[in-house]
Each structure stands twice: as structure tokens, then as C-alpha cells.
Amino acid sequence: MKNKFGFIRICCVTPVLELADVKTNAERIISACGTAAAEGSDIIVFPELALTGYSCADLFRQKLLYGSAAESLRMIASETASIDAYIAIGLPVMHESRLYNCAAVIYGGCILGLVPKTYLPNYGEYYEQRWFSSGADVFSDSVVISESEIPFGTDLLFKDHLGRFTIGIEICEDMWAPVPPSVRKSLAGADIILNLSASNELAGKAEYRKELVSKLSGQQLVAYAYCSSGISESTTDTVFGGHRIIAENGHVLAENQRFEKDESFTTADVDTDFIAHERINNKSFSDCAAVELRGDNSGSFFRMVEYGDDESAAGDGLNNIMLPSALKRFVDDRPFIPARADSREIRCREILSIQSAGLASRLRHIGCKTVIIGLSGGLDSTLALLVCIEAFRQLELPVSGIKCITMPGFGTTGRTKGNAEKLCDALGLGLEVIPITAAVRQHFSDIGHDENNHSVTYENCQARERTQILMDKANQLGGIVIGTGDLSEQAMGWSTYNGDHMSMYAVNTGVPKTLVRFLVEYYIDHIADEAAAEVLKDINDTPISPELLPPDADGKIAQKTEDNIGPYELHDFFLYQVVRCGFEPEKVLFLAEAAFDGRYSRDVIKKWLRLFYRRFFSQQFKRSCVPDGPKVGTIALSPRADWRMPSDASVRMWLDKLGD
């Protein structure tokens, strides 16, 4: 599956094997390779000792068994020569009077190398040291199979001939060791680790195994594919379930249901571009590599094995034929919001705690017991108010110190103003009403602006008048102004410079727009009383609007933000892919098509993506001077800690990548 977006398709295969029947097993492996290759797999992984079976016990001492395995390996390589995929197969290998439990890597008809298992379990139901030697103690770096000299050792890494990825191998118990071999292999450049396993099933073991694979992939910033023996391996006192897991950077992409009776496949597309991005961003990764892979006599160096040259490779180079619908990985259309309700609840509780703790710390530090908040009856200011209440509870301050002000203007509707009044009443707070129309009209007169001209001047005069009132009220009452703008507005520059753009502490600065509703929902479900919950539900259902333009003839909101700048669900998706993942425009578009299939066409997504880039680049000057606010997730745009970007950077290259 060749593409230019860094996706590599890994297929883990659990064949139905016959214990000690190498010929039958080899035939089934060849057949399975064909099936996996037809699905566009770049890497095909089989279990530990898949050619013979793991449970052969003292039969491993039989030359017929390990000799047949070596012969069959050469035959498999020959029969799969036309398959454009790297194939990893487990088998026993006799070398210099020792038997090793190995993984062979095959590509283009060649056996590229053999990696012996390092850690041999010899406890409980395991007796591997009875038959095998550890790969930690090999005497030479190659082995002869069918008159061909094959690289041999635990120090092998396998580099794709097109430079797309590098494979590191470990075998079953290696993963369970305190320091798995994959750690140093990842530090040495492997971005995909394959684990060929024969892990038997015990109650509770599968969940721990899954957690281990996930954690190793996250710790090593790597894609980790785990492939274990199936039920046909079961014998005597042990039962195998054929567990297969593919994880990337701490997240499980694919996992099978165990105990399948037939040959079975688990496939996922891992993203090597994202792995590279994470490694660049994580300085500790490169620092650790420098420490662990020093050029001493500790065996730090790894040998890189690569197939032939580009002309002899089975592959035909990179192209972009893959469609978004063919991608074998879940692309989350709401990357900031956990899909599972229980995880979402935990996340919301944690974010509210971070927001309120940050505000409480600021108030405690400056000795302030009063906050001023402009309450519009919209989502963002509502969330900011709820954060203020929680911060005051932490500090054991009376909520009378929370001064709410609503400032109706030309676009204020009865619904939002009414909700602001009802919410304060339900929460036991006072609400001061300060209309701004007269003051703004005076300002229009001062600067010579026609009130009927509903330009950006018309809108921004109102936003700045509100901010002036809040700031002056803060001085008057000895308090600080709480900012209500969110992360999405900051990314898009959707604020009035020195208007709602400014405050003394911005509690929502790390919260994307798509998450705000869920935080309010969490408050409704777990904190608010019945009266407050009823008002909060209606606020959550109110269209997003700055209410700076007059309402329609029915007095309803006419100015809807998403009509002007596009759906926030798209912009939050773009923000995550651009800032968190560092993806280039074509890949962001590709992923958006996959995530929003059936909801937005490619042309619509492209239209709003172009707008996102234009605004993200042009509005950096606003982000360069934002007020303090708590970082709550992996993305923050504060220039002091997270996002440093020149205010005058050109967006041309990014837009050119998207075309017209």
C-alpha cells in the first residue's frame, strides 16, 4: 500500500498450524501472505515458531524438525518473491551447535536476516532454556541457510528499501523483560517493532498484555505489532488464544477477538510520519538515544539490513493512489473529546479541575477576592463563570466576590440575555446590567462612523466598549477580569484585538470550542442543581454567536459564527492535525475526508481548510500577546510556553499545497 502520507499497513496473521508439520505450515504461511498482500499490506507478521509450532518441546532437538524449518524458510522466500511486503516468520535455527528461537525477515525473495530471542522464559509452564540458547550470546554475525550467508543477531534492524520505515524485532518474552530489547532498537531508529509471540492464555493476562503493548508503543514513540499463536497451538496443559494487537504511540489501533478457530488477520495502518513528528518534538527521546547508544563496547551499535537497491526492489515507488475510505485506522473527527462516556467524564472533571486550580492559584498569589466576568448567556462565558465558582469553592471564598456583568448591545437577543439572568439567579449570584448602545453610539459619533454601516468597525466598537467596562469595573472593585475566549477562537484569531482578546486571566484559553459543550454538560450532570441545569441545557443549545449584528425580524440570533468561518468541528480537527501532529496540508485534507465521510464533501473541507490556514497565519499577532491562562491539553497557543511563530510568516507554501 504505497502512499505519500506515511501510512504503513501491518497485517498480523494467526494461521491454523499443525504441530511439527513444517511442510503444511509453510504452505499455509505462503497462502496467508498472498491474502494479506492482496489487502495492500506492507508488513506481514506471523507468530513465534510459526513454521514448527511453539509447543514441540523435545521435538526441537530433532534435526528433521529444525532442518526442515530452514529448508522451508528458503522455499517461502522464493514463493513470496513477487509480494511487495516484508514478512516476519518465527522458526528454530541451528547455529554453531546451538539452537535459537528466531524471527526471520523476508522481502523480495531474500531472507534479509535472522533475529534470535534474547530472553528465554524458564518458569511456570515455560521451559525454553531446555531447548534454546539466548541471542545475547552469539559467536558470529551470520548464519548459512541453503548455501546463502544470512545476517544473524539481536543487533539487526531492517530498513525499507524506499526509506519509509525501519523494523526492529523482538520475540515474546523479550517484551515482558524489565528492559525490552525494543527500547534500544527504537532509540537506534526503528519506528516499527514486530513481536512474534506464543503467549498462552490465563485469566486476566490478555488485558495486561494489551496494556503492555500500548505502553511500550507510547514509551518508545513507535508502532508496535504483536502477533501470537492461536488455539491450534494448544496442547497438554496450555491454551493459546491468538491475541493480536497493533498500537502506535500509546494508542491501540487494532485488536482481535481471541480464540478464533480459523486462520485470522488483524490489520491496521500505522503512521510513521506522526512517529517521526513525535520523536522530533520529544527532546528526551534523542537525549536518551545519545546516552544509551554511545560508541563503547556495550554492543550499542545496530546493523542496518536493507534489501538490494531501488531497481531490484519488488515495490514500484511511492504514489498517492490510496483513498481516504480505504484507510485501515480510525480517524477521530473529535480528537479533543474521548469517545467513551466514562473516559469523557474523567477528562472533563480533570479539565475543570485544572482551570479552577489555575485561577485559584492566581487569586491566592495576588491576594484577590474579586473577579469580574462579562456574561453574555453564551457557552464560553458560561464555562468561565462555572470555573470561577469552582475556584472560589477551593479558596473557600464567598461567591459574592464573583461580579457578573451583562452588557446588551445592538445584537443581543432576549434568549441570551434571559439565560444570563436566569443562570445568575439559579447560582445565587448578582448580575449587573450595563447597556452599551448609548456609549457605542457616542463613540460612532466621535470617530465619524455611520451606525447603518455594519462593518468590522461596527462590531469591534461594541467588543472594545465591553472590555473597557470590565477593566474599569475591575479597578473600581479591586478585582481581575476573567477572559472567556477559547482555544479555537485563539487559533482562528476570532476575537477583537484589545477587546474580548484581552483579560487579566483567561480560563478557557486551553479549551477548544468542540469541548466547551461537553464541559458544561459535565457540570449539568455532576455539579449543578436542577434549576441551574435547566438553564445550562438551553445555553448549550444556543447557536454560537458574538451577537454584534442586529437580530432578525423575529428577534432571534442572525449572526452565526459558523456561517462565517465554517464549522468549529472542522477547525478543531484541523488545529489538532496541524499543530499537534505537524501534518502537511494534503495529509490534513486526506484525514479530514476520512473522518467526515458522508458529512462534508472534499470541496467543502478544502474551502474551510484554506480559510483555517489563512487565519491561523495572519492572526498570529493576536496570539503573540495573549493573557495568562491554564494549559489543559497537548495543544496550547501561548507564545510563552507552547507555540512560537513569527507574526509575519507567509502562508503561501501551505496554500499552494492545497491547490485551487
Catalytic machinery residues: 48, 117, 172
Tell me if 101 sits within 8 A of 51, measured CB to CB.
no
Tell me if 164 sits within 8 A of 276, measured CB to CB.
no
- The per-residue DSSP string of 405-432 comes to EE---TT--HHHHHHHHHHHHHHT--EE
Q: Residue type for 466, please?
A: R
| CA atoms within 13 Å, Cβ hemisphere of 529 | 7
Strand-pair partners of 151? 142
> What's the rounded Cα separation, in Å, for the pair 206 and 195?
15
DSSP single-letter state for residue 628: P
Q: Residue type for 567, please?
A: P
Pick left, alpha or beta for residue 560 (phi over 0 → left; psi -120 to 50 → alpha; otherwise beta): beta
Looking up cell 494448544 gives 234
- Helix ranges (H only) for 146-222 are 173-176, 181-187, 205-219
Strand-pair partners of 10? 43, 268
Orientation angle between helical segments 568-575 and 602-618, nearest 10 degrees: 60
**Among 522, 565, 521, 563, residue whose Cα is nearest residue 543:** 563
Q: Which residues contact 189 (CB under 8 A, 6 or more apart)?
A: 157, 166, 302, 304
Q: Tell me which H or E stretch contains 358.
A: helix 341-366
> What's the rounded Cα separation, in Å, for the pair 78 and 574?
46
**Among 161, 164, 140, residue whose Cα is nearest residue 152:** 140
Instruction: Quote helix, strand, coil % in the chain, to nearest 5.
Output: 45, 15, 40
Q: Which residues of 628-643 are buried (b: 16+ CB within 10 A; e: fewer)?
A: ebbbbbebbbbeeeeb
Q: Residue type for 425, please?
A: D
Instruction: Locate 576 and state its grid cell.
Output: 489538532
Burial zone of 653 (CB within 10 Å; 0-12 exposed, 13-18 middle, 19+ buried):
exposed
Q: What CA–CA distances, in Å, run from 120 to 29, 116, 117, 176, 219?
A: 25, 10, 7, 11, 23
Q: Which residues of 417-432 are buried (b: 16+ CB within 10 A; e: fewer)?
A: bebbbbbbebbebebe
